[in-house]
């Protein structure tokens, strides 16, 4: 994960001050791996089940990013139309909203499906996300103040992670937690509002 603080706009609602990744101007698929290899890896992490809804959400997300590297823009147009239709199809049939503007790491597992609004700035590699989770803004006029979820975070069902906050790597967010503040790495956070109840020991210490 990049050491950036979560995206913040100087004037809420202003599109001009947004960084390019939030505007979705570039291909943000993980570097140094082809899109087909990525898809194979995504399928593997979804237990090689082709009809797993989480796999489809991730696959359409990868496609949405891949098409941003198609130049010139005119050539990209049919891929963009296909992406927009597939994105809506995943929302309608799987109940998973994962826009291509989310910077998504590798081997992210989406367990089950339904009621998932995953509008984070970044979701790191090897994260697990369960049904009914919401990542997004804390207040309606705080456009694009989105959370960053670092690598290897395990997120319980029904959790809401809101605003310009960062969930540290190797943390666990309990079921139905409402997280409104930064969570340090190796933490277990539960409750409403979420509080850190434990610090985990790194495996290799
Ligand atoms: C948070 C979680 C991972 C447990 O972590 P843990 O470190 O093993 O924590 P413990 O079970 O020892 O619980 C510690 C305390 O937190 C409380 N707690 C645990 N999970 C909680 C939750 N989701 N919300 C509120 N409190 C919770 C426990 O009651 C306990 O409180 P106590 O000390 O007053 O008795 C687990 O409870 C959880 O929420 N998992 C989500 C998994 C999921 O979504 N499954 C759905 C699969 S479809």
200 lines ligand 1 (CB under 6 A): no
Do residues 110 and 96 make contact, with C-beta atoms less than 8 angstroms apart?
Answer: yes
Specify the CATH number for 4-202; select among 3.10.129.10, 2.160.10.10, 3.90.1300.10, 3.30.420.40: 2.160.10.10
**Out of 2-11, 117-126, 131-140, 146-155, which region has the weakest mean confidence (pLDDT)?**
2-11
Q: What confidence score (pLDDT) does residue 61 get?
A: 98
Q: Tens of pLDDT along 48-60?
A: 999 999 999 999 9
If you measure from the C-alpha of residue 155 to the centroid of ligand 1, how many angstroms do you get, rounded to a whole number?
11
Rounded Cα distance between 201 and 205, Å, is 7
Counting atoms of ligand 1 from 1, which one is nearest the CA of 156? Answer: 44
Cβ-based neighbours of 169, under 8 Å, separated by 6 or more: 1, 124, 150, 151, 152, 153, 185, 186
Q: Where residue 19 falls among pLDDT bands split at 50, 70, 90? A: low
Do residues 135 and 109 make contact, with C-beta atoms less than 8 angstroms apart?
Answer: no
Q: Where residue 203 falls among pLDDT bands split at 50, 70, 90? A: confident
Q: Is the pLDDT of residue 2 over 60?
A: no
Q: Is the pLDDT of residue 20 over 70?
A: no
110 lines ligand 1 (CB under 6 A): no
Q: Is the pLDDT of residue 85 over 80?
A: yes
The predicted model scores a pTM of 0.91
174 lines ligand 1 (CB under 6 A): yes
If you measure from the C-alpha of residue 88 to the centroid of ligand 1, how many angstroms do you get, rounded to a whole number?
34
Q: Whose CA is nearest to atom 17 of ligand 1?
A: 190
Q: Tens of pLDDT along 91-121?
A: 999 999 999 999 999 999 999 999 999 999 9
Q: Is the pLDDT of residue 81 over 80?
A: yes
Q: What confidence score (pLDDT) does residue 197 get?
A: 98
Q: Where residue 144 falls among pLDDT bands split at 50, 70, 90? A: confident
Q: Whose CA is nearest to atom 39 of ligand 1?
A: 174
Do residues 183 and 159 make contact, with C-beta atoms less than 8 angstroms apart?
Answer: no
Please indicate whether residue 44 or residue 142 has the higher confidence score (pLDDT).
Answer: 44
């Amino acid at each position: 994960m990049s050491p950036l603080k979560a995206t913040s706009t100087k004037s809420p609602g202003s599109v001009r001050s947004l960084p390019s990744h939030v505007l979705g101007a570039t291909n943000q698929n993980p570097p140094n791996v082809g899109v087909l290899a990525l898809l194979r890896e995504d399928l593997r992490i979804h237990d090689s089940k082709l009809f797993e809804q989480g796999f489809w959400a991730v696959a359409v997300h990868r496609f949405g990013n891949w098409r941003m590297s198609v130049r010139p823009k005119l050539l990209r147009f049919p891929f963009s139309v296909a992406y927009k239709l597939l994105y809506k199809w995943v929302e309608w049939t799987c109940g998973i909203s994962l826009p291509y503007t989310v910077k998504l790491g590798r081997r992210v597992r989406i367990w089950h499906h339904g009621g998932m609004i995953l509008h984070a700035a970044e979701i790191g590699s090897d994260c697990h996300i369960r049904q009914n989770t919401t990542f997004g803004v804390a207040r309606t006029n705080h456009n694009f103040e989105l959370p960053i979820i670092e690598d290897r975070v395990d997120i319980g069902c029904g959790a809401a992670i809101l605003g310009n906050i960062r969930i540290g790597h190797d943390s666990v967010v309990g079921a139905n937690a409402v997280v409104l503040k930064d969570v340090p790495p190796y933490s277990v956070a539960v409750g409403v509002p979420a509080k850190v109840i434990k610090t985990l020991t790194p495996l290799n210490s």
